[in-house]
């Protein structure tokens, strides 16, 4: 038996968490769930959006399934999602983007995997606000050491890309490719412009690639990569990217396969992993038994693979694919007309998936 932390989240979180838990259990995966809370609901009850018990539970179990959590805009607590990734050193964000028959999309037969670095780059959180003393001091120093001058009215965000961080993520991408029988890894960058950050990323990518001669390697400049993905996505397989490009291309690739309803994800580190849908907490649908549970269920497929339960993972993915392909017991977002009265609720779609697993 494997113990997994189930973070039920807020907004639509609790409904899809329950649907995903039921579907995963139906595969006979023998998982013991340890329930944990995070988000605005627990904040209202206890004064903290992320109780220490939740962090401790993921640390102890090493694996968690997390439903979405609301991040208040402007004021309130900072993103729990970002905090959890940093606290647990979940340096790799994995986002498979796969076409499922029955999902409305402009493309078919897409099968891409995004591996995004999760801790460095412009998302490291090292920022200097316009006009602050520290910012002016930094600008003065930069102006002293550079020909190009920065005005005192600038805000500054720092982009660290390290050898260690790049080695870890590129190795992760190759290991993932090898384990999952993928053929090619493409390293994405803007090394022609940012020579000391993206240039370093590319240099390390090439070095690591030499150790994986069984897997093809190539690199692409990020703007060209965007165009190529729209024009010839079938040429690509596993993409490894620094944090910012990874964030943007994750959404681009989710768009290629029909959107957020079927976009699963995982944040993985050496000591733990949290599996979660790409979408957010969709507060306007909270408590209505309306939204699509598939992205979190497919995140459960990734979780099962991560803990070595391959047969169970395959069974669950096939059941989800079959229900989507039939197009009958699916939520409103998967119907041609979003107001189609035959659309089923979150819980009923989970029931249909469970029925497929058992058939
Ligand atoms: P969202 O993903 O919640 O919603 C975007 C759109 O997609 C909305 O129209 C929503 O109704 C729809 N949608 C989302 N999930 C759906 C589903 N399962 N089935 C059908 N339709 C679905 O994004 P948002 O509105 O920008 O963010 C809402 C909140 O979620 C914010 O507080 C944001 O910070 C948070 N968020 C959390 C996570 C996370 O927990 N990992 C990720 C993204 C956003």
Predicted TM-score (pTM) of this structure: 0.91
pLDDT bin (cut points 50, 70, 90) of residue 86 is confident
Answer whether 26's CB lies under 8 Å from 358's CB.
Answer: yes
* Tens-place pLDDT, residues 4-23: 999 999 999 999 999 999 99
Residue 223 CA, chain-centre distance (Å), reads 21
Is the CB of residue 289 below 6 angstroms from any atom belonging to ligand 1? no
* pLDDT at res. 77: 61
More confident residue, 39 or 265: 265
* pLDDT at res. 75: 55
Nearest CA to ligand 1 atom 32: 70
pLDDT bin (cut points 50, 70, 90) of residue 178 is very high
The fold of the 111-120+161-256 domain, in CATH, is Rossmann fold (3.40.50)
Is the CB of residue 62 below 6 angstroms from any atom belonging to ligand 1? no
Q: Is the pLDDT of residue 89 over 60?
A: yes
Any idea which architecture 1-94+262-359 has in CATH? 3-Layer(aba) Sandwich (3.40)
| Average pLDDT estimate for 320-346 | 95
Q: Tell me the average pLDDT of the chain.
A: 94
* pLDDT at res. 224: 98
| Average pLDDT estimate for 330-354 | 96
247 is catalytic: yes
332 is catalytic: no
Where are the CATH 3.40.718.10 domain residues in the chain?
Answer: 1-94+262-359
* pLDDT at res. 294: 97
Among candidate residues 19, 3, 6, 109, the one with its CA nearest the CA of residue 54: 6
How far the first Cα of the chain sits from its last, in Å, is 24
111 is catalytic: no
Q: Is the pLDDT of residue 25 over 60?
A: yes
Least confident range of 42-51, 146-155, 202-211: 42-51
Nearest CA to ligand 1 atom 18: 292
Where are the CATH 3.40.50.2300 domain residues in the chain?
Answer: 111-120+161-256
* Tens-place pLDDT, residues 103-121: 989 999 999 999 999 999 9
Least confident range of 113-117, 123-127, 161-165, 229-233: 123-127
pLDDT bin (cut points 50, 70, 90) of residue 266 is very high
Residue 23 CA, chain-centre distance (Å), reads 20
Q: How far apart are CA 198 and CA 341, in angstroms?
A: 50
Answer whether 244's CB lies under 8 Å from 123's CB.
Answer: yes
């Amino acid at each position: 038996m494997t113990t997994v932390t189930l973070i039920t989240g807020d907004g639509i979180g609790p409904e899809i968490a329950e649907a995903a838990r039921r579907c995963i259990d139906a595969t006979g995966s023998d998982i013991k769930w340890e329930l944990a809370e995070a988000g605005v609901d627990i904040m209202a009850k206890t004064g903290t959006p992320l109780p220490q018990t939740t962090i401790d539970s993921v640390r102890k179990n090493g694996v968690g399934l997390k439903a979405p959590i609301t991040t208040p805009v402007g004021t309130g607590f900072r993103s729990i999602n970002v905090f959890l990734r940093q606290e647990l050193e979940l340096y790799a964000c994995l986002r498979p983007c796969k076409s499922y028959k029955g999902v409305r999309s402009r493309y078919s037969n897409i099968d891409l995997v995004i591996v995004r670095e999760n801790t460095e780059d412009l998302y490291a959180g090292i920022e200097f606000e316009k006009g602050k003393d520290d910012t002016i001091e930094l600008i003065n120093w930069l102006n002293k050491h550079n020909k190009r001058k920065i005005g005192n009215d600038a805000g500054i965000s720092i982009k660290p890309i390290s050898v260690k961080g790049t080695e870890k993520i590129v190795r992760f991408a190759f290991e993932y490719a090898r384990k999952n029988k993928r053929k090619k890894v493409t390293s994405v960058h803007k090394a022609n412009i940012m020579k000391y950050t993206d240039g370093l990323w590319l240099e390390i990518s090439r070095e690591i690639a030499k150790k994986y001669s069984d897997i093809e390697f190539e690199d692409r400049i990020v703007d060209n990569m965007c165009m190529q993905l729209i024009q010839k996505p079938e040429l690509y397989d596993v993409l490894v990217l620094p944090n910012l490009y990874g964030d943007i291309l994750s959404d681009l690739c989710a768009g290629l396969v029909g959107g957020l309803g079927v976009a699963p994800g995982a944040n993985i580190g050496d000591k733990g992993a949290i599996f979660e849908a790409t979408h957010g907490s969709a507060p306007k649908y909270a408590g209505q038994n309306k939204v699509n549970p598939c992205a979190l269920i497919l995140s459960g497929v990734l979780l099962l693979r991560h803990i070595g339960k391959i047969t169970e993972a395959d069974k669950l993915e096939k059941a989800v694919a079959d229900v989507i392909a039939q197009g009958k017991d699916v939520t409103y977002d998967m119907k041609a007309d979003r107001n189609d009265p035959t659309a089923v609720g979150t819980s009923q779609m989970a029931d249909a998936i469970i029925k497929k697993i058992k058939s």
